[in-house]
Structure formats: structure tokens, C-alpha cells
Chains A and B, each alone.
Chain A
Amino acid sequence: MKALMSVGALVGAIALLLLVGMILDVVPSNTVRLVEGYMPIQMLLEVACFVAGFTGLSYMLSSMGMAVPRFWQGIGFWAFVLLYLKFRVYPPIPFSVRAMYGTVSLVAVFMWVSANEDDWKKFKQPIMNVLDAQSGANKMLRYAYLVLIPVLVGFTSFNAMKPKSEEPIELRTVHPAPPASTKVHGKTYTLQTSQNPYRVNPEGKFDQEYSNKLIVEQGMGRLMAPNANPWDEKNQGYLKYVKEGGEIFFQNCHFCHGDNLNGRGLHAFAFNPIPANFTDPGTIAQLQETFIFWRVAKGGIGLPNEGFPWASVMPPWEQHLTVDEIWKVILFEYWHTGYYPRTWD
């Protein structure tokens, strides 16, 4: 047990040093990289390691007779969460999300320190000591708080009310609700039931399973599946159309959506919001191909009234591309990102 705690303490100490380095800007945030494909769990595991480390540190300090009071443990852990979110995770997290996380972690700390009467008493003790002001130092602290707390409240209020020149915060809706059907080049497509006519096997039959096997594989980066090279001249069916879709994409779309399809094309940052990032698991991965077909065909101007203003400069591509070209470019987008379109079977 002692050995385990010692390892924990070591992990905790190293992790803390790294975090302090990041806070002081001595160590870059990406020294320990967040790996694409593993990020969701990597961040949580990292925080779990910190917690294990803190447990070890607390145990060691306690064994050495230098136990950290529960009050400071609680405050310290909360401060750690705030600093971790601010200085470790990159790119920077917006304030609104940090505020949500900070509030939840404050509640969690409260639940921890007040889970039983003993802990709660220990936690409250320093606060009660200051309020009771039995010693000179506590008396001084009480006066200091008497002045500082109103000043802090006043400053916060002033800061909140002060006119700012920043652009206001936006609460955008990312996925507009599609219509039941859409008319493109004179033909009506029912979004719930239409299919991409180019998602076909070499025999020319619609085959979702076949195309699913040939998409780019995800993991630590994106790699083409074996024997699934769209540039192979002998290809028939799905992969042939993926290549044709790719050509259309690079002729028309990549200027904004980027050559990695991550929404960071040449012109991307001229727009607000920047174009959609197809590699994100929350965009095309969540949607039916017919949804994308409708969005590409009708562009920003064809978005529904609800949720206006959409602030989308996406052109209505039906004015520039044929129906076939739109379907092919969608095929390429799914292939390249390694996502499957949503289906309802």
C-alpha cells in the first residue's frame, strides 16, 4: 500500500510540476500531446491520474506529519481544476464552458468535503476560526475580509456593467432542421428515404456495407484502408466515384472547408462562423447523406426561418453543380473523414 501511495505521490508531484510549468508558460501546453482519436478518454484519464497522484501526495504528507487541512485540500483541488482547464487543454476552452466545469467541480468539492459530519467540521473549522476571531491573526483576517469581500463584489459588478467593445456572444444552432423533401434541378427528393446513387459496389448495386468497408480508417491519424485507393485506375463503383467526388471537392469546396476537410481552408477565417469541420464527430457523422445533399444544394440562403440568422455564406451549389456532382462530393467527404452517414435501419 505504501509503495503504491509513493508511486502515486511521485506521479502527483511530476504532474503538478508540469502543470505549474504550463501555467508559467515555461512548458508548452502540448508537451504531452492530446492525441486525435484518443482525446475524449485521454483527458479524463489524465485528470484521474492527477487525482490518484493527489491521493498519494496527501497520504505521504500525512505520514510525515504534515497533513494538509481538509479546507485547503478542497480549495486546492478546485483551483487545480480551474488551472488545468485554462492552461493544459488546448486549444483554449471558451469561458462559458470553463464556467460550467468550474461550477460543477465546485459542487463536487462541496459534496466531498461535506459528505460526513467529521469532514464537514474539519472543512468549516478555518472559516469558523476566522469568524470567531479568537486569535489576533484571525481578527486581522476578519477585518481584511470585511473590506476585501465588498471590494471584490463591487469590482465584479463594475466589471460586469462596464461597456465593452467586444462582439457579443453568439448562441448558434449548428444543425438546422431539414425539410421533409427538397426539389433540386426539377426533381423532388424525400430526405428520409433517398439514397446516394453512387454508393454502389463494382456491379453497380447500392451497397452500404461495401462502401463502409472502404472508408478511411480512423485511429492515430487517418489512413486509407488496404486495397482502397481511389486513385487506382482499375476501380469500379464506389471508389471510382469517391475519386470523382474528390476532384469536385478540390475544385470547389476546399477553399473554405480545407484540404483536410477540417473547416480551415484558405478563406476560412474570413468568415464568422468559420466553415463546418467535417472531421468533427458532431457534423456529417451525425447526419444522413440526404441532409448534406439538401445543405449543399440549397446553401445558406435555403436555410429555414427558425433559428435565423444563420450567418452562413455557403452558396446554393445547385446553381453550379449537377445533382450527380453533389452526390459524388458527399461520397468523398464521408470517405475522407472516415465517417459513416447516418442510416435508420
Chain B
Amino acid sequence: MGLVTRKKVFSIMALCAMVGLLLFPVIVSLPSLAIGADAPDAAKKEEAKVEKGRDVYYKTEGIVVGAPAPKTVDGPRDYPRYNFESRVLLWFANQQHLYYGSFVLAVPIFCMVVEFMGVVTKDKALAKRYDQLAYDFIKISLTAYSLTAVLGGILIFTFLTLYPAFFGYLSSIFRPVMHIYALMFVAESGTLYIYYYGWDKMKEGFLKWIHLSMSVILNIIGTLLMFLANSWIGFMMSPAGVDEQGRFLGNIWHVLHTALWNPLNLHRILGNMAFGGGVVAAYAAYKFLASKTDEDRAHYDWMGYIAMALGVAFLIPLPFAGYWLMREVYAYRQQMGITLMGGLLAWLFIIQATMIGILFLSTNYYLWQAMGRMRGAEKYQRYIKYLVFILACGYLVFITPHTMVMTPAELKAMGGQQHPVLGNYGVMSAKNGGINVIITTTVLSFVWYMRGNKVSTVSWSKFGNIFMGCFFFFAYINIIGLAIYGYYIPANVRVGLSVPQVATTLSCLFFMFALNSVMMKGAKQMGPIEWGKISARSQYALIMLATAFTWMMGLMGYIRSSVRLFWHVNEIMRDNSPWAYTHTVGFAANMISFNVLFFWISILFVFWLGSLAAKKAPVDAKAGVPGSAPQPAGSH
């Protein structure tokens, strides 16, 4: 057997091993399913003896197979503690695990995309750069992966030692799921290590495709892992598969597939991707600022750009996924929705809006700065001030609180709780308009960036430009018009208006990107993109982007968790610890900031560790990096 054939056989074996690892947890769980299949027969025989219960969500009848949710009392049995607030300790452990978990789940997806781009790119130098970039990505996540596992262990110990009654109940419901989760984790680890360490051995031809297939499997496992973990929080917020006493009714699918599971899954996938992009972009920005040579600056400038573009690609649909989640929350329990959006936690949503605005503002600012490294992009610079104005107006509307913070004297001067002018911006109709204006403007900035150093040579370019201009103009008119119209119609119709607004924004995104790409095919280049010749301010914008992502993730996690108020499992298991109250906004903000700070300090350490174990970068790949290199066709 020749060397190449042997390599191929080993690679296929490795791929099969991964598929086996992926299927392993499912196979292991089959016997339990088989037992479950026998159970109805047994149940029929003893029908008279078995107790039945009604599912709190699905309203179906089922045989009670679990114990009721424990009625906890404040004391060392149910709530053992240190001389410190247990909830805060758990919050910290949970948040850190989530940050790292999100990061290590997101980065392999980037890796897959970038590696694929490298494989399909015809330009060899560029393909090598993509491959190196994908390798850099996975290298960063590998060290973080171990830390994620360690933090997961800390989290479980925290649960077991501080909330034993609650965790005991949760694990009694999710017992098979937790085992599958653990096995999936083994599969994820095995796949990741084969993928990483097989990089050099499988870098060409057929083997490269096998390697790429491994990244697909790796990501499938990662995504399934996240879905399983999401089912636990979904159950805590909107329980199903149990009766009113919290007794498990034997249908594990009902327990998994709760009212909020799917919206949470989608929201978390997009959120993880955006977050992962932000962190990698910040890493690149840090390396850029610390670079001593033009070559390094060019490489990290390019890396930052790619990571930012990937992150923002997932940031744009994120608000819509969030909207779907909130819609489902309202549909599940009206009071939960009101507590979130109009009640106790409403102020946190104003902070969230502020953070979302910062994300989009930072992205736009980065793109404008990035136009500075292109010859020919000057023609757009004079119009940037108008984009700033539109963005600022959208942002101001988006962050305006409906109930304002004010002194009693101000309240009297204003004549009521709501301001007659600005109060109008505090409702959903205006806010939908605000965020859609912001996103559409971001799309416009991207379009300008994409055509910055190019002049279209297609015969219909003039018509194309006018068409694009009109498209954006009418998109703005439509979004703003619908936002105003929303004040004069019933709430259920108003909620539906978000569909045409979102459709308008997404049309801008897809049609304009597609049209622009067609127009710019074979376009005249005004000059190359001078990678590395970007202002330092742009890199701070990337760091700002990543910090805002991190902060917002912490905030939204807190909001999602707090909405259960004094319930461990909503309406099933009450939290009787002394900490079953909602923190003040100030305390929560400080805690989130602490978590963010800790994460960034620890991840800097991880980056440093990664650089210690750095694989010696191939000299030829580095030499091919920007500056003198051709522009990456797919990079803008």
C-alpha cells in the first residue's frame, strides 16, 4: 500500500471514528428507549395501579414516573452555603462557563467557513492564507476548550454543593439527557483533537476534503451539545413533560421540546457566532496594535476584518431571532413578557438597546475607517456625516425609555410619568423602526465598503447605481412610514408590521449585496486594499465591539434567568432561598461588568498560552500576507 493510499485509509478511518463518536451517545441511549417502549405494555397490565398526570404544557396525559419537585425550605439541607450569597457564586461560575462555551462552539464554525473558502479558492497564495487563518482560529479555541471543561466542572460542583435540592430534581428529570450530554462532550473532544492534530497531515487534495468534513461533524456535535444544554434552561423557564407537582410523565421529548427551546436554540447559535467573531476580532486588534512589522500588521488587519465580517453577518439577524424569542415568551406567559419588556426588567432592556446600538455603531465606524486603506473610497467620505446622522437618530429612538428616570420636581414639570414627545419613542412601534434604520444603514456602509476601490464597468452601471439608491431610499421610507403607522392601529396588527419592516431590511441586505456583487464583477480597481494601513482607532472599535458583545451576553443571560422571579422552575419549583429576589439594576450591572472583566483577563491569559504553544507559522504563508499580496476576493 502506497503512502498516499495509507493516508487516505487512515483519514477515512478517522472520519468514520468521528461519525461513530457522534452516533455513540444515540446508540447508548437506545436500550433505555427500548425499555421505554416496553413500559406501555407493563403499564397496561397494571393500569389500575399506576397514577396518571396531566402535562402542564402539552396537556396530554402520562404515567407518573418521577417524584414531585421538592418543596424546599431555607436551611442547610436545601440551601447549604458559605458566608456569601450562593446565587452570586453560581452566577459567576455559570457566566464564565457560558462565555467560554460560546467561544469554543463558535470558533469551529468560523474555522469551517474559512477552511472551506481556502479549499474552493483558486488563488493558491490566498488559499494558503485562508488555511492559516482557519488554523489560527482553531488554535485559539483549543486552549479555551480545556478551560471550558474545567469551568463546566466548577459549575456542576457549585450546583451540587449550593443548590443540591434543585440540582437533584433537575437531574432526576434530565437523567438520560445529561448522560447523552456527557458522551457528546467526549465525542466533541475526540473530534476536536483529531481535527486539530490532523491539520498538517491532511492538508492537500482528497485528504483536505476529509479534513473539512471533520469540521462539519465537529460543528454538528457542538451544536447538538448546545441544544441539550438549552433544554435545561428552556425547562426552567417554560416547563413541559411534567405535571403540576413537577412529576416526570415519562416523555423525554416533551421535557426537551418546551415552548422556548427552539427560539432559545436559534438565538444562542446566532449569538455565539456574533460573540465568537467579536472575540477573535479583538484578538486580531490586540495583535495588530502590538505588531512591530508591516507584515504582521497586514496579517492581523485582515484577520480582524474577516472575524468582524463573520461576527456581524450573524449580528444582523440576531435582533430578529430575539424578537421571535420574545414573541414566544409572550405567547407562553403574558406576565413573563410584561415583566421583561414593560415591567420589572424593562430598564435592563433599555441598557440592552444601548449595547445593541454600540455594536452597530462600532461596526459602521470600523467600516468607514477601513475605507481609508482603499484608494478610490474617498468619494464616499463626504457622505459619511449623513450616515452618522441617520444612525444617531435611529439609536436615540431605540434607547429612549418609556418611563424616565427623574426627580419628583422634574416629574411635576413634565406633568406625568410619560413625556408627551419622547414617550412616543418608548414604545415598540418606534423601536422597531429605530433598529431597522440602524441595520439598513449598516448594510449601506457595507455596500460602500465593498465597492470602495472599484468602479463598475458593466454597461448598466448608471442604472444600477440609481436603482440601488432608490432601493435604499424607499427602504428607509417604508421602515419609518410603518413605524409611524404603528401608532394608529391595534396592537396585534402593529406586531405584524415588524414583518414588512424586517423584510425590507433583509431585502436591502440580500438584494443589494447580490446586485452590488454583479455590478462589481470585473470592475476597474482604483488601487489595492493596503492591508495594515488602517487607523488605530479602527482597532479600538473592534475591541469595543467585542466588549459590548460580552457585556450584552452577560446582561441578556441575567435577564433571561431573572424573569423566573422566585421560581427555580417556573410555576413548578419555588426558590425558597434568601436570594429569591431580583437584584437592583446597579448591582446587576456591576456583577455583569465583573464577569466581563474576568473573562477578558482570563482570555488574555489563554491567548498568551496559545502563543507559547504556537506552531511555527509557515514562512511562505506569512510572506504571502497582504501588502504585496493580492486582495482576497472573498474578503470584501
Question: Interface 1/0s, chain A 173-186, versus B by CB < 8 A?
Answer: 11111111000000
B400 at the interface (CB under 8 A from A): yes
Given known contacts A192-B334, A273-B417, A177 and B343 CB-to-CB distance under 8 angstroms: yes
Partner of B421, one of A34, A119, A277, A291: A34
**Chain A residues within an 8 Å CB radius of B381:** 115-116, 118-119
CB distance from B187 to the nearest CB of A (A): 42
A179 adjacent to B416 (CB under 8 Å): no
B405 adjacent to A178 (CB under 8 Å): no
Cα distance, A120 to B397, chains bound together (Å): 28
B336 adjacent to A177 (CB under 8 Å): yes
B388 adjacent to A341 (CB under 8 Å): no
A274 at the interface (CB under 8 A from B): yes
A173 adjacent to B344 (CB under 8 Å): yes
| Stretch of A8-16, A103-111, A130-138, A318-326 contacting B (4+ beta carbons < 8 Å) | A103-111
Secondary structure dominating the interface of A: loop
Given known contacts A111-B388, A174-B342, A269-B412, A342 and B491 CB-to-CB distance under 8 angstroms: yes
**Chain A residues within an 8 Å CB radius of B426:** 282
B361 adjacent to A111 (CB under 8 Å): yes
Cα distance, A343 to B330, chains bound together (Å): 12
Chain B interface size, under 10 / 10 to 19 / 20 to 34 / 35 or more: 35 or more
A286 at the interface (CB under 8 A from B): yes
Partner of A174, one of B368, B393, B402, B428: B402
B618 at the interface (CB under 8 A from A): no
A340 adjacent to B489 (CB under 8 Å): yes
A178 adjacent to B491 (CB under 8 Å): no
B411 adjacent to A89 (CB under 8 Å): no
Q: Which of B317-348 contact A (CB under 8 A)?
A: 330-331, 333-336, 338-339, 342-344, 346-347
CB distance from B94 to the nearest CB of A (A): 22
Partner of B410, one of A43, A92, A344: A92
| Stretch of A141-149, A163-171, A197-205 contacting B (4+ beta carbons < 8 Å) | A163-171
A177 adjacent to B339 (CB under 8 Å): yes
| Stretch of B78-86, B103-111, B480-488 contacting A (4+ beta carbons < 8 Å) | B480-488
B490 adjacent to A307 (CB under 8 Å): no
CB distance from A13 to the nearest CB of B (A): 20
Cα distance, A62 to B567, chains bound together (Å): 65
A259 at the interface (CB under 8 A from B): no
**Chain B residues within an 8 Å CB radius of A114:** 537
Cα distance, A162 to B426, chains bound together (Å): 33
Chain A interface size, under 10 / 10 to 19 / 20 to 34 / 35 or more: 35 or more
Q: Which of B353-396 contact A (CB under 8 A)?
A: 357, 361, 364-365, 368-369, 371-372, 378, 381, 384-385, 388-389, 391-393, 395-396
Partner of A176, one of B343, B403, B413, B415: B343
A36 at the interface (CB under 8 A from B): yes
A95 adjacent to B430 (CB under 8 Å): no
B393 adjacent to A44 (CB under 8 Å): yes
B343 adjacent to A173 (CB under 8 Å): yes
Chain B residue with minimal CB distance to A274?
B416
Cα distance, A251 to B434, chains bound together (Å): 42
A306 adjacent to B582 (CB under 8 Å): yes
B492 at the interface (CB under 8 A from A): yes
**Chain B residues within an 8 Å CB radius of A340:** 489-491
B408 at the interface (CB under 8 A from A): yes
Chain B residue with minimal CB distance to A39?
B421
**Chain B residues within an 8 Å CB radius of A40:** 421, 424-425, 430, 484, 487
A212 at the interface (CB under 8 A from B): yes
B419 at the interface (CB under 8 A from A): yes
Chain A residue with minimal CB distance to B480?
A41
Given known contacts A47-B393, A178-B338, A180-B333, A173 and B385 CB-to-CB distance under 8 angstroms: no
A7 at the interface (CB under 8 A from B): no
A329 at the interface (CB under 8 A from B): no
Question: Interface 1/0s, chain B 422-440, versus A by CB < 8 A?
Answer: 1111111110000000000
A89 adjacent to B422 (CB under 8 Å): yes
Question: Interface 1/0s, chain A 301-312, versus B by CB < 8 A?
Answer: 000001100000
B399 adjacent to A100 (CB under 8 Å): yes
CB distance from A327 to the nearest CB of B (A): 19
Partner of B565, one of A212, A264, A273, A306: A306
A107 adjacent to B361 (CB under 8 Å): yes
Given known contacts A108-B391, A340-B490, A177 and B335 CB-to-CB distance under 8 angstroms: yes
**Chain B residues within an 8 Å CB radius of A178:** 334-335, 338
Cα distance, A157 to B565, chains bound together (Å): 38
* List of 3 A-B pairs having minimum Cβ-Cβ separation, nearest first: A340-B490, A94-B406, A175-B342
By a beta-carbon cutoff of 8 Å, the part of chain A in contact with chain B is 34, 36, 39-41, 43-44, 47-48, 51, 89, 91-97, 100-101, 104-105, 107-108, 111-112, 114-120, 166-180, 191-192, 212, 218, 262-264, 269, 272-274, 276-277, 280-283, 285-286, 288, 291, 306-307, 340-345
Task: A97-B401, A281-B427 are known; give 7 further A-B pairs, CB within 8 A.
Answer: A104-B396, A107-B361, A115-B385, A170-B408, A180-B335, A283-B418, A307-B344
